[in-house]
Amino acid sequence: MSIPSIRRLSVKAVCLSAAVVTTVAVTAGVAWAAYTDNMYPTQYEQSGCFSESGPDGQVSCQTDNATLTYYMDGAGTNMLETEDRNVVISVMNTVYGPTDFSVSLDTSPEFSGSAETDIVYEESAVGMSESADGVTFCNNAASTLKCDQQYIRIRGGGHYVKGLTCHETGHAVGLLHGNKSSPMRSNTDEQLGCMETPTSDEEGLQANNIENINATY
Ligand SMILES: [Zn+2]
């Protein structure tokens, strides 16, 4: 926006000040101000949140509330090694921690009932025909909108990095790719932060994702 157009707007605002105050009150905190609405559901993604026993590409659920608890598989074939755990803890503390989520590591995870640990990270084959390095699926839908427990599987061999962990965690809280966002954006749009595909290793949330999270939770 050029400086002259700002000046023109400010002159008009003198006449419309009463209406402007009303508009701000109604829209404050809503994602309409964001670059794009990439929080499920959008007009391009309304498939519903369902319970799945394994990954099938269904990633369309919000998490059930603003208290975001997570657990990392600590034994058996799907356990995360120390270096993978350190990446997840760092992403949750430094990338998701500053949002309106209340993020905490759940050392006594719940896998049943109505207050399950929200996100369970596993190191595992992704199990889909496409060559994805990570996948997110809802294990226990609370409604067609929200999931009580999401599983994130990321391949071994060094794939637990900041960008992909941020990306799959984004899906676990309802964030979508550019082609499901409204207005629709390119999947490679840089303003999608770590929800861009393919995902850069060092990418974080960036402003648009944070605005959508904070408007929703
Ligand atoms: Zn994705």
What secondary structure does DSSP assign to 3-17, as a single string? HHHHHHHHHHHHHTH
55 and 20 co-located in one domain:
no
> pLDDT value at position 11?
36
Ligand 1 centroid to Cα of residue 8, in Å, is 42
> pLDDT value at position 54?
87
Ligand 1 centroid to Cα of residue 172, in Å, is 10
> pLDDT value at position 132?
79
59 and 23 co-located in one domain:
no
Ligand 1 centroid to Cα of residue 24, in Å, is 33
Nearest to 136 by CA among 157, 108, 165: 165
Ligand 1 centroid to Cα of residue 23, in Å, is 34
101 and 22 co-located in one domain:
no
16 and 122 co-located in one domain:
no
147 and 90 co-located in one domain:
yes
Using DSSP bridges, classify how beta strands 134-141 and 67-72 pair: parallel, antiparallel or unpaired: unpaired
d(CA 125, CA 91) in angstroms, rounded, equals: 21
88 φ, ψ (degrees, to nearest 5): -60, -45
156 and 82 co-located in one domain:
yes
Ligand 1 centroid to Cα of residue 164, in Å, is 9
> pLDDT value at position 16?
37
46 and 94 co-located in one domain:
yes
Q: Is the peptide bond before 183 cis (omega within 30 degrees of 0)?
A: yes
Domain tally for the chain? 2
39 and 28 co-located in one domain:
no
> pLDDT value at position 129?
53
136 and 163 co-located in one domain:
yes
* Domain extent for 14: 3-32
Ligand 1 centroid to Cα of residue 167, in Å, is 6
Per-residue pLDDT of the chain (217 residues; tens, 9 = 90+): 344 444 443 333 333 333 343 333 344 445 457 899 999 999 999 999 999 988 876 668 999 999 999 999 999 999 999 999 999 999 999 999 999 999 999 999 999 998 899 999 999 988 765 567 899 999 999 999 999 999 999 998 889 999 999 999 999 999 999 999 999 999 999 999 999 999 999 999 999 999 999 999 9
- DSSP three-state, residue 89: helix
49 and 141 co-located in one domain:
yes
Say which CATH number the domain at 92 has. 3.40.390.10
19 and 105 co-located in one domain:
no
